[in-house]
């Protein structure tokens, strides 16, 4: 919710009257509504006057409009930072991928396990996946909100990543072609990409189509200062392999069943690569490794509001085929590895008011979902064929409850705004067992623009499907550096999964604050402290060292002379890991604006508008009937109404166009027009003597 305060002026010249409002985006301003409001409060309304008579101006006092902004997220936690169109342009990003990279320092989180993407919302709603919004140009974005991790709970996610809410413009249309190229300053390398994107956003929905191609040439060791070996095989070893990628994506969003926003996202992708890794033993020809990856994706998202509840269904299906073929040094049959991966998931989220409390309604979020993953792989190495088939099915249920304790402006507002939170999750994995997560939090705003967030989470985490089930492989002749002897030796490396892994347990405590000291200055101060303790953390074996060999002697095998013979690199459970993270930052924005127009510039603009209106009136020859459409290029007579799209902002006044949320007053010889700059609006004509900006 927001409140927008302004002073309104009623100008009495027409039968219906008019109110010039500076309204925020999406708040409807209507002439008749404004007149009715004035009558209801006993204020004098406009009366017809003779042409050229002086207008009477009445001060109606302060009006407060309360509403909900488009794309607002669930709950009462304010954004840590909000970027408007000007701020987004300042990042230099051309699409959402680049925008997230530019915002990486702000959207990172210390609460996750590492490497997770932030929770992404579009217009305050869940999406099926990142591919649904990846190709949207930044020019189509109205604002971006960065919110703390606790907001993720209200959408059925875990509170381990920040939330980024992207709000699009209501109407947008673009066709973009993009070409890029890059090269190394030392030569030997070329890369580039070509992309075409078409986007349409209107009242019917959103349509996106994207075609993307990229590639690069290889870079070999002999093109750089790499010390040669004997024989010199630098030309047969690549530092950067050759890569090619082709991807096509489409996204279609429409409203179905009256009020359900339905989105369908499809993607197909092909990539291949070629690298060199030495010389063969027979003909001394380069050994080549070829890789090919093909994938297809289908995503669906349904979002709707019913009464005081909102619900969302998201689903995804993915198929990926990977193939790797490698030459052998003895020039026999090539080694071959193939992996076929299929995955699918579906989630249902319901959020709404559960029951009333003195401060506000208690809010409940329930999320249930399921997923399946299957990895089917086969391998041929040195003529030996092996295969492996792994699968995992998971089901989970989450619940989050927000209890408002105090609210400013109500009978229980002594503490400011205070909300308590409790959440829980149960997850069942087919190949591991049951995992649980519980948490609690507090959101407190003692005064305006100052927020404190405190939360605690205890969660259990399972090993990945590959950490548990990958086949155990013994690779003799692997070069390993022995820290004990200080020599590089050839030993047998044992890799693969470890079925004896246990679940880890994380306890995370977070304390954060967000403060905007001044209402009219865009300065935000923020600080977070996160302390996490992980029992039985799971990690791969980092490599041989004297310390690790002393801690895990069973993973190292030496012969009678002390020579390292074998090392077991499979993942394992460590004892404990602790981490404390303090993040302190600020955001300050001050737009660089042009100088205000001088009175002389404003007068020249008025004269230009008068001449334009006189010319249009002489071409028409007669005025339209009362209430009918105006002449081409002109304004309706006093008291008439017309629906039209405002003209472009004239450069003569020396100022940039206003933002889409501002009201524009355009002057002409027949009167003054008022309306929203960004959309088709209803305007009322007023006499020219009231002409002001």
Domain-located, residue 131? yes
Give the number of other Cβ atoms within 10 Å of residue 398's Cβ.
21
Kindly tell me the burial class for residue 332, based on how many C-beta atoms sit within 10 Å of its own C-beta (0-12, 13-18, 19 or more). Answer: exposed
What's residue 618's pLDDT?
54
Q: Are residues 608 and 670 in the same domain?
A: yes
d(CA 221, CA 235): 6
Residue 668 lies in a domain: yes
Report which of residues 52 and 104 the model is more confident about. 104
557 occurs within a structural domain: no
Q: Which helix (H) or strand (E) holds 101?
A: helix 96-102
Query: Which whole-number Å values give the CA distances from 306 to 303, 309, 311, in the listed order?
Result: 10, 5, 8
Give the integer Cα–Cα distance in Å for 682 and 693. Answer: 18
- Confidence at residue 99, expressed as pLDDT on a 0 to 100 scale: 94
Say if residue 658's pLDDT is above 80. no
Q: Which residues contact 301 (CB under 8 A, 6 or more apart)?
A: 125, 126, 127, 128, 132, 261, 262, 263, 265, 312, 313, 314, 315
What are 121-157's pLDDT values in tens digits? 999 999 999 999 999 999 999 999 999 999 999 999 9
Q: How far apart are CA 468 and CA 571, in angstroms?
A: 9
**Distance, CA of 106 to CA of 81 (rounded, Å):** 9
Co-location of 93 and 56 in the same domain: no
Other Cβ atoms less than 10 A from the Cβ of 433: the count is: 11
The total of structural domains in the chain comes to 2
Given 132, 152, 168, the domain boundary residue is 168
Residues 25 and 107 in one domain: no
Domain co-membership, 61 together with 89: no
Under 8 Å CB-to-CB from 170, ≥6 apart: which residues?
26, 70, 201, 203, 678, 679
Q: Are residues 40 and 126 in the same domain?
A: no
Q: Are 39 and 108 within one domain? A: no
Q: Please give the radius of gyration of the chain, using alpha carbons only, rounded to the nearest integer.
A: 33
Picking from 449, 455, 426, 402, the residue whose alpha carbon sits closest to that of residue 155 is 402
Q: Which residue did the predictor score with more confidence, 509 or 38?
A: 509
**Tokens representing residue 77 in the block:** 């936690």
How is 301-352 classified by DSSP, letter by letter? EEEEEETTEEEEEEEEEEEEEEEEEE--TT--SPEEEEEEEEEEEEEEEEEE
For residues 680 and 606, state if they share a domain: yes
Cα gap 673→666, rounded to integer Å: 5
Query: How far apart are the C-alpha atoms of 129 and 117, rounded to whole Å?
Result: 11
CA separation (Å) from 75 to 361, 420, 557?
11, 12, 58
Residue 378: is its pLDDT beyond 70?
A: yes
Quote the CA–CA distance of 658 and 693 in Å, as a whole number: 12
State both tokens at 669. 């010889």
DSSP code string of 421-434 = EEEEEEEEETTTEE
CA distance 145 to 71: 10
Does a cis peptide bond (omega within 30 degrees of 0) precede residue 241? no
In sequence order, what are the residues at sequence separation of 6 or more whose Cβ sits closer than 8 angstroms to the Cβ of residue 267?
Answer: 131, 247, 248, 249, 250, 295, 296, 297
**Would you put residue 507 in left (φ > 0), alpha (ψ -120 to 50) or beta?**
beta
Q: How far apart are CA 587 and CA 605, in angstroms?
A: 38
Say which CATH number the domain at 164 has.
2.170.130.10
Q: Which among 4, 27, 3, 146 has a CA at the least distance from the CA of 77? A: 146
Q: How far apart are the first and last CA of the chain?
A: 29
- Closest by CA position to 74, among listed 406, 366, 397: 366
Per-residue pLDDT tens over the stretch 280-316: 887 788 899 999 999 999 999 999 998 889 999 999 9
Q: Does residue 602 lie in a domain region?
A: yes
**Domain, as residue range, for 666:** 2-68+593-690
439 within some domain: no
Segment 154-182 shows an average pLDDT of: 93
Q: Average pLDDT of 399-415?
A: 88
Please report the pLDDT score of residue 371 as a whole number. 97
Element (H, E) at 674: strand 671-676
Inter-residue contact 309 to 350 (CB < 8 Å): yes
Helix, strand, coil percent values for the chain (each to nearest 5): 15, 50, 35
Mean predicted confidence (pLDDT) in 187-208: 94
pLDDT at 34 > cutoff 80: no
Residue appearing with tokens 């991790």 = 149
Of 168, 188, 217, the residue that ends a domain is 168
pLDDT category, 226, cuts 50, 70, 90?
A: confident
β-pairing verdict for 473-482 and 190-202:
unpaired
User: Which residues, 6 or more positions from 294, have their beta carbon under 8 angstroms from its beta carbon?
Assistant: 269, 270, 320, 321
Percent of the chain having pLDDT more than 90? 52
Partners of 296 in the β-ladder: 268, 319
CA distance 206 to 200: 6
Whether residue 109 has pLDDT greater than 80 = yes
Q: Which of 255, 373, 392 is closest to 320 using CA atoms?
A: 373
Confidence of residue 617 (pLDDT cuts 50, 70, 90): low
Does a structural domain hold residue 162? yes
Question: In 3-state terms, what secondary structure has residue 327?
Answer: coil
Q: Give φ, ψ of 89 to 5 degrees.
A: -65, -35
Contact by Cβ (8 Å): 144, 83: yes
Q: How confident is the model at residue 19 (pLDDT cuts 50, 70, 90)?
A: very low
Q: 107 and 157 share a domain?
A: yes
β-bridge mates for residue 205, sequence order: 202, 254
Mean pLDDT score across all residues of the chain: 80
Residues 96 and 160 in one domain: yes
Q: Tell me 40's DSSP state.
A: H
Same domain? 27 vs 95: no
Asked whether residue 228 carries a pLDDT value surpassing 90, the answer given is no
For residue 63, what pLDDT is reported? 53
The label of the residue with tokens 């080694």 reads 335
Q: H or E segment at 37?
A: helix 31-40
Structure confidence at residue 619 (pLDDT): 53
Task: Using the 3D structure, point to which of 168, 186, 201 is the last residue of a domain.
Answer: 168
Q: Is residue 479 part of a domain?
A: no
Tell me which residue has tokens 């002439």: 31
Q: Are strands 564-568 and 487-495 parallel, antiparallel or unpaired?
A: parallel
d(CA 208, CA 486): 58
Taking the mean position of all CA atoms in its chain, how far away is CA 284? Answer: 51
Beta bridge partners of 283: none
Burial of 99 (0-12, 13-18, 19+ CB in 10 A): buried
Q: How far apart are CA 369 and CA 396, in angstroms?
A: 6
Q: Are 286 and 236 in contact (CB under 8 A)?
A: yes
Mean pLDDT of 35-45: 41
Residues 92 and 115 in one domain: yes
Residue 604 in any domain: the answer is: yes
User: Does residue 589 register a pLDDT over 80?
Assistant: yes
């Amino acid at each position: 919710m927001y409140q927008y305060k302004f002073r309104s002026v009623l100008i009495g010249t027409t039968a219906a009257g008019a109110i010039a409002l500076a309204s925020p985006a999406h708040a409807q301003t209507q002439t008749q509504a404004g007149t009715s409001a004035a009558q209801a409060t006993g204020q004098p309304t406009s009366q017809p006057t003779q042409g050229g008579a002086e207008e009477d101006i009445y001060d109606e006092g302060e009006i407060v409009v309360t509403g909900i902004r488009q794309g607002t997220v669930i709950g009462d936690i304010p954004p840590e930072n909000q970027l408007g169109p000007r701020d987004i342009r300042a990042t230099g990003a051309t699409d959402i991928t680049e925008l997230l990279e530019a915002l990486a320092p702000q959207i990172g989180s210390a609460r996750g396990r590492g490497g997770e993407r932030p929770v992404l919302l579009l217009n305050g709603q869940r999406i099926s996946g990142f591919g649904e919004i990846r190709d949207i140009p930044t020019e189509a974005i109205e604002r971006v909100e960065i919110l703390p991790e606790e907001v993720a709970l209200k959408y059925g996610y875990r509170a381990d990543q920040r939330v980024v809410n992207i709000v699009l413009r209501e109407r947008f249309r673009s066709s973009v072609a993009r070409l890029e190229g890059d090269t190394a300053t030392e030569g030997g390398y070329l890369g580039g990409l070509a992309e075409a994107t078409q986007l349409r956003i209107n009242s019917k929905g959103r349509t996106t189509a994207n075609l993307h191609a990229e590639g690069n040439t290889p870079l070999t060791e002999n093109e750089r200062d790499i010390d040669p070996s004997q024989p010199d095989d630098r030309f047969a070893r690549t530092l950067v392999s050759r890569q090619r990628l082709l991807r096509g994506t489409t996204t279609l969003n429409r409203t179905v069943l009256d009020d359900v926003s339905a989105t369908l996202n499809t993607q197909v992708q092909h990539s291949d690569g070629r690298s060199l890794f030495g010389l063969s033993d027979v003909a001394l020809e380069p050994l080549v490794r070829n890789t090919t990856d093909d994938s297809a994706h289908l995503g669906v998202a349904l979002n709707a509001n019913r009464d005081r509840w909102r619900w969302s269904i998201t689903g995804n299906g993915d198929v990926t085929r990977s193939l790797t073929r490698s030459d052998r040094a003895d020039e026999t049959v090539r080694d071959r590895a193939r992996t076929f991966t299929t995955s699918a998931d579906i989630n249902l989220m319901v959020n709404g008011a559960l029951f009333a409390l003195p401060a506000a309604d208690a809010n409940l979020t329930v999320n249930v979902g399921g997923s399946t993953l299957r990895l089917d792989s086969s391998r041929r190495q040195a003529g030996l064929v092996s295969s492996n088939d792994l699968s995992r099915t998971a089901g989970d249920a989450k619940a989050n409850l927000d209890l408002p304790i105090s609210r400013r402006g109500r009978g229980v507002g002594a503490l400011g705004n205070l909300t308590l939170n409790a959440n829980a999750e149960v997850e069942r994995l087919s190949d591991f067992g049951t995992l649980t997560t519980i948490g609690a939090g507090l959101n407190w705003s003692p005064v305006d623009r100052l927020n404190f967030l405190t939360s605690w989470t205890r969660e259990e985490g399972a090993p990945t499907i590959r950490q548990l089930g990958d086949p155990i492989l013994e690779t003799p002749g692997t070069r390993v550096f022995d820290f004990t002897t200080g020599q590089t030796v050839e030993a047998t490396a044992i890799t693969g999964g470890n079925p004896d892994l246990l679940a880890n347990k994380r306890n995370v405590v977070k304390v954060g604050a967000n403060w905007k000291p001044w209402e009219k200055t865009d300065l935000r101060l923020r600080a977070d402290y996160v302390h996490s303790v992980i029992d039985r953390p799971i990690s791969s074996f980092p490599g041989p060292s004297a310390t690790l060999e002393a801690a895990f002697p069973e993973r190292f095998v030496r012969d009678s002379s002390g020579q390292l013979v074998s090392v077991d690199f499979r993942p394992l459970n460590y004892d404990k890991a602790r981490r404390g993270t303090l993040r302190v930052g600020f955001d300050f924005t001050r737009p660089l604006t042009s100088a205000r127009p001088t009175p002389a510039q404003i007068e020249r603009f008025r004269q230009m508008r008068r001449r334009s209106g006189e010319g249009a009136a002489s071409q028409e020859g007669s005025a339209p009937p009362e209430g009918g459409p105006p002449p081409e290029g002109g304004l309706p007579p006093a008291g008439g109404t017309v629906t039209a799209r405002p003209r472009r902002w004239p450069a003569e006044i020396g100022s940039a166009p206003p933002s889409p949320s501002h009201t524009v007053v355009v002057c002409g010889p027949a009167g003054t027009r008022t309306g929203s700059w960004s959309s088709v609006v209803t305007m009322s004509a007023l006499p020219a003597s009231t002409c002001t900006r």
